[in-house]
Amino acid sequence: MDKNKTNYSVARVETYTKTSITKAERHNERKNKSYSNMNVDLTQTPNNIHYKRCETTYNEKLKELIDNKQVSLRGLRANAKLFDELIFDINSDYFEKHGGYEFAKEFYERAFHFAEEEMGADNIISAVMHADELNTALTEEYGKPIYHYHLHVIALPVVRKEVKWTKKCKDKSLVGTIKEVINQVSHSNKWKSEQVLDNQGKPVYDKKGNAVLIKSYSLLQDRFFKYMSDSGYRDFIRGVKGSNQEHLDDLQFKIKKDTERLERITNKVEEKESSYNSYMKYNKQIEDISNLGKQKKFSKKIELEQEDYENLTEYAKKGIVADKEIYELNNRIDNLRNAVDKWKSLNRLY
């Protein structure tokens, strides 16, 4: 076990429409009955902590906020990104070395307060710490279950927007003046990049004269690290490119294990085929099985010796089961590799 492993704080954002948010909701609120492609241990789900619980669905909560005129979707397309998911994370090993579950609860409660400052407390729909996802790589290292503690916060990206009187206004003296101020849902305006400043506080430009910008999510990482450090949490550094390495390590570990299991199953199939060929004393390929038995007179039926029939049936069943397991494992490995590619692409955003 690497005693000197560096721990990274990670804050990232994913966006959702009214339609796509339902998938995130099922995951975050544990509304699925099973999680075949994840290491979710539903027996540990009661350990998940809600710092803010959504008593309805996410979309119903959004409608409530709109009806109460707390937020506005004015001018947005039907497929606009309305929900932001802030995900806060640090290596599982960090929590294991600082007190485990109880420490993680306190840490993410503070992270939740950070999210309240970032998004506005009234704009947060749900905030839940997951404590039921097994970290398979660390579990094998420690020889006991190690869970991946992290925080999901669903919030609306709201900005204050001044709505001005237009030329259609009958009172021309009002044109151009402020009519009202609304809380506009707008992901693009919420997460604007900022221009880099030099040591004298002057804007920095590249060789072509274009402003050099810092991505908004990178600034979020900066603020999260500072907030948690100022709150007294130590022994980690600000997430950098590649700070999702723990997820990659865990996914690569699962790919390795599933590949090994697939190889074992494939070897068993080959062993059974070899055993069957030895038993039947035929030096033929599997397709030659059709030559077994003899046709009954005046009938299309094939006769087999009882022992041959029983063994043929047994191996046929085992072959079907093995084919199914190989198919499922191949799909699982493909899904895990896709997940690795997704994490790598996310790293480039921060």
| More confidently predicted of 109 and 335 | 109
How many residues does the structure list for the chain? 350
What pLDDT is recorded for position 246? 43
Q: Name the residue among 109, 335, 147, 152 with its Cα closest to residue 246.
A: 147
What pLDDT is recorded for position 316? 76
What pLDDT is recorded for position 23? 93
What pLDDT is recorded for position 121? 97
Could you state, in order of their start, the residue ranges of all structural domains in the chain? 1-237, 256-337
Q: Specify the pairing of strand 237-238 against strand 8-16.
A: parallel
CB of 45 within 8 A of CB of 132?
yes
The set of residues, in sequence order, having a beta carbon less than 8 Å from that of 68 and lying 6+ positions away, is none
Instruction: Report, in angstroms and rounded to the nearest whole number, the Rg of the chain calculated over CA atoms.
Output: 29
What pLDDT is recorded for position 1? 47
262 pLDDT tier (thresholds 50, 70, 90): low
Ranges 66-75, 247-256, 269-278, 333-342, most confident? 66-75
CA distances from 234 to 6, 90, 267 (A): 12, 12, 49
Poorest-confidence range of 95-99, 106-110, 271-275, 318-322? 271-275
CB of 86 within 8 A of CB of 11?
yes
DSSP 299: S
299 pLDDT tier (thresholds 50, 70, 90): low
Poorest-confidence range of 89-103, 135-149, 173-187, 267-281? 267-281
The set of residues, in sequence order, having a beta carbon less than 8 Å from that of 147 and lying 6+ positions away, is 41, 44, 92, 101, 131, 132, 133, 134, 135
| More confidently predicted of 200 and 103 | 103
241 pLDDT tier (thresholds 50, 70, 90): very low
89 pLDDT tier (thresholds 50, 70, 90): very high
What pLDDT is recorded for position 243? 41
CA distances from 77 to 50, 119, 164 (A): 31, 22, 21
Burial class (CB in 10 A: 0-12, 13-18, 19+), 4: exposed
What pLDDT is recorded for position 97? 93
155-191 per-position pLDDT tens digit: 999 999 988 888 888 888 888 888 989 999 999 999 9
State the CATH class of domain 1-237: alpha beta
The answer, yes or no, to whether residue 348 has pLDDT greater than 60, is: no
pTM of the model: 0.68
- Residue 104 to residue 126: CA distance in whole angstroms: 18
- Residue 250 to residue 134: CA distance in whole angstroms: 10
Taking residue 71's Cβ as centre, other Cβ atoms within 10 Å add up to: 21
What pLDDT is recorded for position 273? 58
Q: What is the percent of the chain where pLDDT is above 70?
A: 74
DSSP string, 164-190: E--TT-SSGGGTTSEEEEEEEE-HHHH
212-223 per-position pLDDT tens digit: 888 888 899 999
The answer, yes or no, to whether residue 295 has pLDDT greater than 60, is: no
Poorest-confidence range of 79-88, 108-117, 304-313, 341-350? 341-350
